[in-house]
Amino acid sequence: RQILELHQVSKVYGDGTTVVAALREIDLKVNAGEFVAVMGPSGSGKSSLLALAGGLDSTSHGEIYVRGTPLSALSKAERARLRRRAVGYVFQDYNLIPTLNATENVSLPLELDGVKPAKAQRQAKEALRQVGIEDLAGRFIDELSGGQQQRVAIARAIVGDKALILADEPTGALDSVTGEEIMAVLRRRADAGAGVVLVTHEARHAGWADRVVFLRDGRVVDQAIAQNDPHSL
């Protein structure tokens, strides 16, 4: 079952005078249960690819399908609803709401989507438990360290059985042991049937993936089956 497809996707940024081709004719498919790592040098298009896949920005050419639905066919409101319902996104800068506590940050997208508050908070606490910070559930964001905030952002992305989880360098603020724990969390989401796309600089983390996609200058230059996936042995 296919969760995500990029079909001949190109992305050009431009302000009229300068033009940057960030992605060029990308083809990529991610199935349910599949964990794909995206690697490549700075500026190769990794963040752009993820942002497009999450419907945060629109393609210049080509089409993106989430669970078979072409994103270009959706209105802005429908895209926002799809994001809340089916897509978990870990932003590089977390994008947490400082006036809410950790639990509320995680439960809010569920509640906006119509999940009853009690259920949403139960699911939020479970997600916080999975990322190892259930004891910080009542803390406000500015009372948390960078690494703890990053774990809240990851909890928000995995809460409520998302079909697609997109994570942009989700372990940058974490020590290596916690980073590995987070990889295990993402691996478990994939094993439970989610499609997972992880942007990472760390070859060690790519080892948790089923497949590694390498970008250079906005093109896919190589795809490899992960060699050291501890779960494939």
Contact positions vs ligand ADP (CB under 6 A): 13, 20, 22, 40, 42-48
Report, in Å, the least distance between residue 154 CB and ligand ADP: 17
Alpha-carbon distance 191 to 198, whole Å? 15
Q: Which is nearer to ligand ADP, 20 or 80 (CB)?
A: 20
Residue 164, SS3?
Answer: strand
Alpha-carbon distance 231 to 139, whole Å? 35
Report, in Å, the least distance between residue 211 CB and ligand ADP: 18
Q: Which is nearer to ligand ADP, 45 or 54 (CB)?
A: 45
Q: Which is nearer to ligand ADP, 94 or 115 (CB)?
A: 94
Report, in Å, the least distance between residue 74 CB and ligand ADP: 21
Q: Which is nearer to ligand ADP, 95 or 227 (CB)?
A: 95
Report, in Å, the least distance between residue 173 CB and ligand ADP: 13
Beta sheet of 195-199, edge-to-edge order: 87-90, 164-168, 195-199, 35-39, 211-216, 219-225
Phi and psi, residue 65, nearest 5°: -115, 130
Q: How many CB atoms lie under 10 A from the CB of residue 95? A: 11
